[in-house]
Structure 1
Amino acid sequence: MAKVHVLDIAFTHGGERHAISPVLIQDAQDTILVDCGYPEFVPLLQAAAEQHGTTLATVNRLIVTHHDMDHIGSLAELKRQYPHIEIVSHESEVPYLNGTRQSLRLTQALASYDELPASAKEQAEAFMNLLRAVEPAGVDRIVTSGERLPWCGGVEIIHTPGHMPGHISLYLPEQRTLIAGDAAVIEEGRLAIANPHYALDLAEAVMSVRRLLDYEIEELICYHGGRFEGNIREALLQLVDAYSIDYDEQQ
């Protein structure tokens, strides 16, 4: 059975402590990296991999959950250092990864810029410049929802839009493990919607969480928060119910 390693990476940004949790899935034939952090994070990824007794040189597949900067910032650099790596993404993410379309997060930031108070514009401009600086990378394999990749005992693609239209989560049936990406995050020990005010479609994001209830999940890994501790099904139900209540109150 393939091993699943959570690469818990802590770092400082803007004077604040942050953490992300890319994932390595590894068996005797393949090593899959799921998401790869901000630009210039290759040394941090390497150090985290070494803590689990492996190296980035063993990675031969890299699955991208979506094109937010903290998930793809080191994608091009990794491909340069390890040209054998096969980059995998959902079909609708391809033009944002290869640079033929502007990042949806940049489009969103530009649309709200004029409404910001003057005191917030400098920070917004810095954020947009960071988004513009992310280096594009080509996609080697396009996947669709429901597709089951044959690596590491099987990796099922679950289209979980909302946070972004092409967002995917991954289900490992042998391990009954769900790699959520940003379909859900862990905040103070509870599951939550990732940055709900910035979700491209919040209602769809909640529906994506509901879709995860169709899977038998014994381990849930979030990109922001790592491994979830607690009753996973109950936590997913509580998250869906919380937003259902919010929608009822708005109507």
Structure 2
Amino acid sequence: MKDTGVMNNPVQIINLPIEFEYYGQMYSICPSLIVYKDELTLVDTGYPGFLDRIEGEILQKGYHPDQLTQIIITHYDDDHIGSLHDFKEKHPAVRIIASEWESKAIAGEVKSERLRQAEQLLEEMDEQQAESGREFIEELKRLRAASVDFLVKDGDHLMDGHCEVLATPGHTTGHISLYFPELKSVITGDAAVVEEGELAIANPQYCINLVQAEQSLRLLKSLDANTYYIYHSGIYLR
């Protein structure tokens, strides 16, 4: 039996699975689409060049990209902000939302944590690893900046209070997740992934701060939530 509170809730979260091939292997990412008052909010924008793929998924779900009013960025990484500039260029009225820490890198005002980390790791790599390390660094350097219109912090509320911003640092310092108490749902970004049927830390070897990542995962698990929208794992039901 469905939760009538969820059925009557004015907010809806839609998973947008995007499958793609990379060096002969299949991968997927899962941006989220939030529907509220006939307006759309996209959470994260995929890799560079993914605008058409994401807009195609939005159309398949019965909505139109022209309904986009907001884009929320959980954190700075190439697979989350890669097409942000393209979205802003095509939909100039859309409002970009991010945490204060992440916004500076997104806007190109400071070197991103991920780029600094990649440059440091390159110094420790052997020659075989270094080739892919250098390619990743160049990919990060090619990311196009976009100004952030609205800054959020832990405890802020969006969508007339239906969405609560959670600071979930660790993967990056300014990483945020989005909690919808009435839906008992969370959009986790990269603060979580599913491994062996359980919520786990995403790529712990690349976390900026592993201790914080562990704390953030505990926070997500402690929420009164049964549905997690996870960027690299899709929908997780607890």
Distance (whole Å) between structure 2 residues aligned to residue 6 and residue 52 of structure 1:
9
Q: 2:34 is paired with a residue of what secondary structure?
A: strand
Asked if 1:58 corresponds to 2:67, the answer is yes
Q: TM-score, normalised by structure 1?
A: 0.88
Q: For each residue in 1:36-89, what CA deviation from the matched residue of structure 2 results, as whole angstroms up to 9, or x when unmatched?
A: 100010011011111210122111010000001100000000000001100000
State the match for 2:6 in structure 1.
Answer: none
Distance 2:198 2:215 in 1: 18
Displacement, 1:13?
1.2
1:190 matched residue in structure 2: 198
**Contact 2:200 2:217 (8 Å CA) reproduced:** no
Q: Within 5 Å, which residues of 2 pair with 1:106-185?
A: 106-151=115-160, 154-185=162-193
**Corresponding residue number in structure 2 for 1:19:** 28
Q: How does 1:26-105 map to 2 (within 5 A)?
A: 26-105=35-114
1:249 maps to what in 2? none
For residues 171-214 of structure 1, the C-alpha deviation after alignment (integer angstroms, 9 at most, x for no partner) is: 11221110011110123433221100110011110001112244
Distance 2:25 2:222 in 1: 37
Structure having the larger proportion of residues in helix: 1
State the SS of the aligned residue for 1:228: strand
Aligned to 1:216: 224
Once the two structures are superposed, residues 7-30 of structure 1 have per-residue CA deviations (whole angstroms, 9 ceiling, x without a partner) of 011101122111001000102242
SS in 2 for 1:163: coil
Task: Give the root-mean-square deviation of aligned CA atoms.
Answer: 1.2
Contact 2:11–2:162 at 8 Å: present in 1 too? no
SS at match of 1:216: coil
TM-superposition CA deviations, 1:103-131 (whole Å, max 9, x none): 21110011121221111111111111000
Can you list the C-alpha shifts for 1:136-169, whole angstroms capped at 9, x where unaligned?
0000000010001135x62100000000000000
**How many residues align structurally?**
229
Give ranges in structure 2 of 5+ residues lacking alignment.
1-9
> 5+ unaligned residues in a row in structure 1: which ranges?
232-251
SS in structure 2 opposite 1:161?
Answer: coil
TM-score for the superposition, normalised by structure 2:
0.93
- Sequence identity (%): 38
